[in-house]
């Protein structure tokens, strides 16, 4: 693996020694509000991440970044060591206590399993499953080298769990899931909790779920991004090449078909920006608007674009959260590019600083012949979101019912059907408020 610019020796690197680098990382996570549980903080201070990333300079392993550890023939990542910030969030969602039995789906490097092992202590049990035999072998060696030989590492399809060691107090999934596998729910004991990155119309949310009478209810949610599951329980979302390769790739929510040629033509065409007049404090808050639009506009197709290539310097930085289209496919008699694509992006707020994390106006960029109209529609919806007091991820309620639950028993809510479950999404009713315009609360709160 190529080292980051400025990296030097195996032991030191540009961040100093590994112990000092680990302390700085944990301090930053704590000070940034990502680490609030003293037990989880202690686990991050104790477990050496660099042992699980042996090809990197040791201290460089303590950057708050995800590192790809395996790619496929198409160059797309197959496995990574997750960003420590989202690992901390998910472990706090999980709520592990000493003596717990925990199942992890998606072993990766083994680092997360070691953190969990530290949390459950000598009386607890950690079982981790990965479908990739090569990763399993390396994770086993990493765990032994870091001092966690008691973690049980299994090579298998994580969608089936690990019934030989069930029941579990907690289950954590560290690969993007499209559905709740029945085995996971069956293998959770009484009072158990599962945390997983669940795809909601192409947007992944780390959801903590607990059993209620006849359904599963979310306890917390955070936006995240994980490599998607492989195996029998993989979802229909798959990345398709977009334009010249090697280059960009795209996938649509729930695997709806896409005309990659028409989409590439639209994204390559001149763009039109439509300001919304709504100011936000940063990209995180703009992401809340993006989630709300995605959930509440089910007739539009959610697009996720990734990779490099000739559009990397133009489209990708200007589609930081994904895009939406008014058509995933183009009829044979339509000219290429005759569709609308639109994406939220930061725009300079007059007299209030530039785009970035210090505050900006939300604009909508439209691509393709129908892009300007679609951008105008979404800009209006951003104003509506603002007027509803900006419902966000933390307010979202997600419930998972058996697939045969009658839809008419769930009025006024967004329903997403999966292979095994019926997902129901809603936000609590809010009293409309005065919109936060550029001179209002949007940049002042």
Whole-number pLDDT of residue 309: 55
Each residue's pLDDT tens digit, 385-408: 999 999 999 999 999 999 999 988
Positions marked active-site? 82
The CB density around residue 216, as the number of other CB atoms within 10 Å, is: 20
Residue 332 contacts by C-beta under 8 Å, 6 or more apart in sequence? none
Q: Output 412-420 pairs: Cβ under 8 A, ≥24 positions apart.
A: 414/295, 414/296, 414/298, 416/200, 416/201, 416/254, 418/178, 418/179, 418/180, 419/179, 420/179, 420/180, 420/181, 420/182
Q: Check pLDDT > 70 for residue 38.
A: yes
Whole-number pLDDT of residue 429: 81
Provide the mean pLDDT of the chain.
87
What are the extents of the domains in the chain?
18-224, 240-392+434-443
Q: Are 233 and 157 in contact (CB under 8 A)?
A: yes
Distances (CA, A) of 186 to 162, 181, 189, 191, 253: 11, 9, 8, 12, 27
Each residue's pLDDT tens digit, 210-247: 999 999 999 999 999 999 999 999 999 888 888 888 78
Mean pLDDT, residues 77-92 taken together: 94
Instruction: Report the b/e string of 316-347 with b at 16+ CB within 10 A.
Output: eebbebbbbbbbbebeeeeeebbbbbbbbbbb
Residue the block writes with tokens 């095994």: 420
Q: Are 209 and 185 in contact (CB under 8 A)?
A: no
Whole-number pLDDT of residue 319: 63
Distances (CA, A) of 283 to 266, 288, 300, 344, 388: 25, 9, 22, 10, 19
Q: How far apart are CA 420 and CA 333, in angstroms?
A: 38
pTM of the model: 0.88
What does CATH list as the number for 18-224? 3.40.50.150
């Amino acid at each position: 693996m190529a080292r980051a610019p400025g990296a030097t020796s195996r032991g030191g690197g540009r961040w100093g020694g590994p112990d000092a680098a680990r302390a700085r990382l944990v301090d930053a996570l704590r000070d940034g509000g990502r680490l609030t549980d003293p037990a989880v903080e202690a686990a991050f201070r104790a477990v050496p991440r660099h042992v699980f990333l042996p090809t990197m300079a040791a201290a460089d392993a303590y950057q708050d970044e995800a590192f790809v550890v395996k790619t496929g023939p198409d160059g797309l990542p197959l496995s990574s060591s997750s960003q420590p910030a989202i690992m901390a969030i998910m472990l706090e969602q999980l709520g592990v206590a000493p003596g717990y039995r925990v199942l992890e789906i998606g072993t990766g490097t083994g680092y997360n399993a070691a953190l969990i092992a530290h949390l459950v202590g000598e009386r607890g049990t950690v079982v981790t499953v990965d479908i990739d035999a090569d990763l399993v072998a390396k994770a086993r060696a990493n765990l032994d080298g870091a001092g966690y030989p008691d973690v049980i590492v299994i090579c298998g399809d994580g969608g089936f769990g690990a019934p030989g060691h069930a029941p579990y107090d907690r289950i954590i999934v560290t690969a993007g899931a499209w559905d709740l596998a029945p085995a996971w729910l069956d293998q959770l004991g009484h009072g158990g909790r599962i945390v997983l990155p669940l795809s909601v119309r192409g947007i992944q949310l780390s959801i903590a779920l607990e059993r209620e009478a006849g359904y599963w209810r979310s306890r917390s949610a955070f936006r995240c991004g994980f490599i998607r599951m492989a195996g029998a329980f993989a979802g229909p979302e798959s990345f398709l090449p977009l334009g010249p390769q090697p280059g960009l790739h795209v996938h649509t929510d729930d695997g709806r078909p896409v005309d990659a040629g028409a989409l590439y033509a639209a994204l390559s065409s001149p763009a039109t920006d439509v300001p919304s007049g709504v100011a936000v404090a940063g990209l995180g808050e703009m992401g809340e608007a993006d989630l709300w639009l995605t959930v509440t506009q089910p007739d539009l197709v959610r697009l996720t674009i990734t990779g490099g290539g000739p559009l990397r310097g133009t489209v990708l930085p200007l589609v930081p959260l994904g895009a939406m289209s008014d058509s995933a496919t183009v009829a044979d008699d339509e000219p290429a590019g005759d569709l609308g694509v639109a994406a939220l992006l930061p725009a300079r707020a007059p007299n209030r600083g530039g785009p970035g994390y210090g505050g900006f106006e939300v604009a909508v960029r439209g691509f393709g012949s129908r892009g300007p109209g679609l951008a105008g529609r979404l800009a209006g919806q951003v104003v509506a979101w603002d007027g509803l007091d900006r419902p966000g991820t933390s307010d979202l309620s997600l419930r998972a019912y058996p697939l045969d639950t009658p839809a008419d028993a769930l009025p006024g809510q967004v329903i997403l059907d999966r292979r095994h479950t019926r997902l129901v999404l809603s936000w609590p009713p809010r009293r409309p408020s005065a919109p936060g315009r550029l001179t209002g609360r949007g940049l002042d709160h």
